[in-house]
Structure 1
């Protein structure tokens, strides 16, 4: 390869990365803003705030509205927006880089040559998607975890509680009570949960996306002579279903990390066991799961749909050849 061509390829890769970062950040902001009210209620139910301990989703929403008004449903969302743009950018950007790297640099086990080229290619690509999605999720959540902790405290506590009236006060309170480590309380269960959750989200999206394009013409959108992408309804369906499947598998760890962020236990296993022995599976480990479906499905649907649409708009989307 000529030096000029190599430089051009590097510039193109850099441009693709910048576009992916932008698309990921915007996708995160769009999806999180849409489900912000349900996010607030989810945290209140997960952590069993005394005022909401025996409430359901609808009654909790109504109580927040009566006590704090419409603004209360978006309490902590300002911090959320500061967090989700870099989180989405890092998650999707890292995913795109690693997916291309893993697919272009496969490691095939001995004897794999005996498998058909098609099966080997599908297995390789799907494994690459899962691994890249997992690492992308871990990178994103680790980089933005302190902001998520602040947002969780703001969402859990009411305006009348000292030290939690705003982002600055919450930051100061956490720093005084627990020091720097207080911002990372619950990071371990978060990483343990986000690794498979993010990986499965990208994995299931890839599976559903290709399945819809290949088998359901209704969800296809032609992008070339023999190339297709998902239509907007198809993107929403693939994103929503992939998010639902991934979150169901990892929800108990999500409950654990929220409790640890709020200082309700110091170890992953300790919190899991205490939650199970105290409240059981349905009312403990899967407490707030109904809210999670109500928020998780549209969140994932809007996130993937926005990301894919922006990629198409910016000319970096990969279509499927039939």
Structure 2
């Protein structure tokens, strides 16, 4: 009996161990299944770590060139927002649409399109003026500094020399005005980059019925002539821009320096900037206005079904139709727009430069 009792205890012990083993197996079974599922369907995590650009952007924003570009963009945007109605009237009168008088043209636009018509094309005009003024003022400042620095180096004996036998030729650029060169370069560069926006703006302003929106205008212009149509009138624009831009920047810089020297001042106040800027715009516009008339004729000639083949043909056409006075048709409206625009632009530009450059360097 003792033997049987011990055997029974052993069987009971082994039997209990078996039960515990089954329970343990059931307990770990779900984890094994999860591991098998993960092995069959592995998870991949792709982590992209973008570089920290905050410091490079801060360093970039502190550069003088960036401040000048931003100042030009902000000045242009603020000026165009205020003077959009004058730009509309000026464009209509230059290309010969509607009344020949400023007041009559204003009333005509308001009767047909309401007050909103005075801001026709202003959306694309804002898109045009921001990059245009940024590039123009930024290029002007950069070229002016580069030319001035080069002149100073050449004066110190670093100018290039050419030896021809016993004759030595010294090249000098001291007779060249850095302001004039910088002004010409600013006009050319901004025109090459932003001319398609000028074409769009003129189409939307002159014929809002045919071009009711920006997207329709882009589509129609592209269908008419492809990419080349976006640069219609580029040659006369560049030719007209050279005297205008050169005179515009040259007049402002020279008059400003002469005035400050005469008054023993280091800088101009805001009203003085406004007046000198207006004078610079008036002079530049008067000199280059016939070329402006030809340029506008070429850019919107397709709307009337007759587009002169080149600038000389456009000038000849104007003279035949209206005489020499036709070359200055719309000049009054142009001055009405250009003078305040030029003055306000320079005033805003100098103000933004003080905020973005002078105050920043003093921190």
Matched, 1:242 2:280: yes
Q: What is the match of residue 33 of structure 2? A: none
Superposed displacement of residue 14, structure 1: 7.2
Contact map agreement 2:64 2:357 (CA 8 A) in 1: no
Q: Distance in 2 between matches of 1:86 and 1:19?
A: 14
Matched, 1:271 2:271: no
Q: Distance in 2 between matches of 1:191 and 1:89?
A: 18
Give the aligned CA root-mean-square deviation in angstroms. Answer: 2.2
Contact map agreement 2:83 2:341 (CA 8 A) in 1: yes
Structure 1 stretches of 4+ moved >3 Å: 11-14, 123-126
Matched, 1:288 2:298: no
Q: How does the TM-score come out when normalised to structure 1? A: 0.82
- In the alignment of these two chains, the number of paired residues is 279
Q: What is the match of residue 99 of structure 1? A: 144
Contact map agreement 1:46 1:258 (CA 8 A) in 2: yes
Q: Distance in 1 between matches of 2:318 and 2:129?
A: 28
Can you list the C-alpha shifts for 1:139-162, whole angstroms capped at 9, x where unaligned?
Answer: 112111101101100100133x3x
Can you list the C-alpha shifts for 1:57-109, whole angstroms capped at 9, x where unaligned?
Answer: 0110011111111110000010001011100010011111110000000267x
SS in structure 1 of the partner of residue 267 of structure 2: strand
Residue in structure 2 matching 1:209, options 245, 256, 259? 256
Q: Distance in 1 between matches of 2:176 and 2:137?
A: 16
Q: What is the match of residue 141 of structure 1? A: 191
Q: Distance in 2 between matches of 1:166 and 1:315?
A: 38
Q: What is the match of residue 44 of structure 1? A: 92
Can you list the C-alpha shifts for 1:188-213, whole angstroms capped at 9, x where unaligned?
Answer: 11111111211111110011111221
Q: What is the match of residue 257 of structure 1? A: 295
Matched, 1:313 2:355: yes
Change (3 A) 1:125 1:242: farther
Q: Which runs of 5+ in 1 are unaligned?
A: 1-10, 111-122, 221-227, 318-322
Q: Distance in 1 between matches of 2:270 and 2:133?
A: 20
Superposed displacement of residue 124, structure 1: 4.8
Q: Which runs of 5+ in 2 are unaligned?
A: 1-58, 158-172, 302-306
Q: What is the match of residue 113 of structure 1? A: none
**Looking at both structures, which has the greater relative contact order when contacts are Cα pairs under 8 Å and sequence separation is at least 6?**
1
Q: What is the match of residue 320 of structure 1? A: none
Contact map agreement 2:136 2:190 (CA 8 A) in 1: yes
Contact map agreement 2:86 2:333 (CA 8 A) in 1: yes
Q: Distance in 1 between matches of 2:137 and 2:270?
A: 19
SS in structure 2 of the partner of residue 172 of structure 1: helix
Contact map agreement 1:212 1:234 (CA 8 A) in 2: no
Matched, 1:185 2:232: yes
Change (3 A) 1:173 1:13: closer
Residue in structure 2 matching 1:154, options 181, 184, 204? 204
Matched, 1:301 2:330: no
Q: What is the match of residue 224 of structure 1? A: none
Superposed displacement of residue 315, structure 1: 2.7
Q: Distance in 2 between matches of 1:133 and 1:31?
A: 20
SS in structure 1 of the partner of residue 177 of structure 2: helix
Can you list the C-alpha shifts for 1:18-76, whole angstroms capped at 9, x where unaligned?
Answer: 00000011111122222211111111111112xx1x43001100111111111100000
Residue in structure 1 matching 2:246, options 176, 180, 199? 199
